[in-house]
Amino acid sequence: MNPVDQRRRDFLGKAAVAAGAMIAPGVILYDYAHAKQGAEPVSGKVRWGMLIDTTKCASGCRECVDACNRENGLPGSTRPTDSQWIRKVDLKDLKSGKAVSLPVMCQHCAEPPCVDVCPTGASFKREDGIVLVDRHTCIGCRYCMMACPYKARSFVHEPTTGQKPDVPRGKGCVESCTLCVHKVDRGGTPSCVEACAAAGHGAIVFGDLNDPASEISKRVRAATTTQLRADLRTDNGVRYQGL
Amino acid sequence: MTVAGILRAAAAAALLLAGSAAGPLAHASGPALDAARAGPCVEDPKLMRRSHPDFLKHGRDDTVRKGIRGIRHSLAACVDCHASRADGRVLGSERHFCQGCHDYAAVKVDCFDCHASTARPAATAAAPATGGAR
């Protein structure tokens, strides 16, 4: 090999190393940003929330309720002992006659009373703000049901069959809206949001309240929105517009 | 070690012994189970027989509390692989994977009071032909 070839080889080798060093961090960052969702523990940088526009929510429409029942394998009946994760509520101001219809579910409080009262630690708030029941430690005492200002939690009174693989549920535990955590962890959105959009209402927006660029953050900044029973200072993740 | 722990260890030991001894009794070779999906388990079968409750208990906290999905020791994945080729379940008779072994070892299996005992549809569709469940 002549000296010129050798110098060329050395140069090309060094150039390749330098190029690698410049590109590699970008590739690593890209991998980090596009890491498979659900592979890492959830982060406190995210605060999942929902914005419900009551002016778009139609009275008598139950698409979100039905979608929730389908997704989570709930029976869908409304006896006092049946689980209901979402309820449709119709309100009317008697003086003005103004009527609104809205879905009410677990409000995913930042300061959840259900977590405060739980004697076993089964009721807990995830880092990303989703309030859940760990059924493995729930003893079914129902303190959380009494503590919840929104009547969001249900107790499973009877043996269950036909559970969904992603949504285990059984007799003797308290349960409530999980914000479809099994879908959110995989990058999806809750079923009620999808059903509302599919029905053409688009009354529910789901997203990260901590991300200033998310649609929900922009909407919350632009319009007047309220948290139910804001006087309790539970700082709900679910907000309502037009109440 | 708790009473449940001792019982579990004893049952696992009995299973291991039963697996190795080729006695004249029909049950000495372990429970007869329906065929399931082929392919290796996520851990050595001997280790799984003894320690699967611990793996599951560790994994459940990762998923429920930290939101980590698709963990190595996931109950849903167990069910997907071990469900009977006949009806896609791990419970129902002494030939089904979970119930068969737990009946044999006389250990109560509580998981499926809440968890689904049927394989997910995608898993059954992709199930290849197989020789045996164990």
A241 vs B8: CA distance, rounded Å = 55
Tell me the sheet residues that pair with B13.
none
3-state secondary structure of A109: coil
Interface test with chain B among A131, A175, A185, by most B beta carbons within 10 Å: A185
One pLDDT digit (tens) per residue for chain B, 134 residues:
455 555 565 555 555 444 444 334 445 577 888 877 778 899 999 999 999 999 999 999 999 999 999 899 999 999 999 999 889 999 999 999 999 999 999 999 999 999 999 999 876 655 444 434 44
Residue B22's pLDDT is 39
Interface test with chain A among B109, B114, B120, by most A beta carbons within 10 Å: B114
Torsion, Cα of A206, A211, A213, A216 (10° steps): 30
Closest-CA distance, B116 to chain A, in angstroms, reads 5
3-state secondary structure of A133: strand
Confidence of residue A27 (pLDDT cuts 50, 70, 90): low
Residues of chain A found within 8 Å of residue B76, distances taken between Cβ atoms: 165-166
Residue A34's pLDDT is 47
Residue in A40, A160, A163 closest to B68 by CB:
A40
**Contact at 8 Å (CB) between A243 and A227?**
no
Residue A17 has pLDDT above 60, yes or no: yes
CB neighbour list of residue A98: distance below 8 Å, 6 or more residues apart: A92
Interface test with chain A among B69, B72, B78, by most A beta carbons within 10 Å: B69
Residues of chain A found within 8 Å of residue B120, distances taken between Cβ atoms: 165
Residue A171 has pLDDT above 60, yes or no: yes
A117 vs A147: CA distance, rounded Å = 7
Residue B126's pLDDT is 52
Amino acid at A167: V
Nearest chain B alpha carbon to A185? B67
Reported in sequence order, the residue ranges of A42-186 that DSSP labels E, i.e. its strands, are: 48-53, 86-92, 99-105, 123-125, 131-133, 154-155, 174-175
- Say yes or no for a CB contact (<8 Å) between B65 and A126: yes
Pairing relationship of beta strands A99-105 and A86-92 according to DSSP bridges? antiparallel
3-state secondary structure of B98: helix
- Say yes or no for a CB contact (<8 Å) between B69 and A38: yes
Residue B20's pLDDT is 43
Tell me how crowded residue A14 is: count the other CB atoms within 10 A of its CB.
10
Question: A16-20, A236-240, B3-7 — which is least confidently predicted?
Answer: B3-7
CA-to-CA separations, B56 to A106, A200, A225, B73, in angstroms, rounded: 28, 42, 43, 6
DSSP run (H or E) holding B6: helix B3-20
Amino acid at B134: R
Structure tokens at A23: 């590109």
Nearest chain B alpha carbon to A131? B65
3-state secondary structure of B103: helix
3-state helix, strand, coil in chain B (%, to 5): 50, 0, 45
Residues of chain B found within 8 Å of residue A37, distances taken between Cβ atoms: 69
B109 vs A89: CA distance, rounded Å = 41
- Say yes or no for a CB contact (<8 Å) between A168 and B114: yes
**Contact at 8 Å (CB) between A144 and A174?**
yes
**Contact at 8 Å (CB) between A10 and A199?**
no
| Helix count and strand count (H, E) for chain B | 6, 0
Residue in A42, A135, A169 closest to B67 by CB:
A42
Residue in B65, B115, B118 closest to A168 by CB:
B115
Nearest in space to A56 (alpha carbons), one of A219, A179, A212: A219
Residue A228 has pLDDT above 60, yes or no: yes
Pairing relationship of beta strands A204-208 and A174-175 according to DSSP bridges? unpaired
Confidence of residue A206 (pLDDT cuts 50, 70, 90): very high
Amino acid at B131: G
DSSP 8-state secondary structure symbol assigned to residue A162: S
What is the average pLDDT across A77-98?
A: 95
The proportion of chain A whose per-residue pLDDT surpasses 90, expressed as a percent, equals 82
**Contact at 8 Å (CB) between B76 and B90?**
no
Residue A166's pLDDT is 93
Residue in B70, B116, B120 closest to A39 by CB:
B70
Tell me how crowded residue A188 is: count the other CB atoms within 10 A of its CB.
15
Residue A28's pLDDT is 52
Interface test with chain B among A74, A136, A157, A160, by most B beta carbons within 10 Å: A136
In chain A, which ranges are continuous DSSP H helix? Answer: 3-33, 63-72, 113-117, 143-147, 181-184, 191-198, 215-222
Residue B121's pLDDT is 84
Residues of chain A found within 8 Å of residue B67, distances taken between Cβ atoms: 38, 41-42, 126-128, 181, 185
Domain ranges of chain B: 3-18+31-125
ipTM over cut 0.85: no
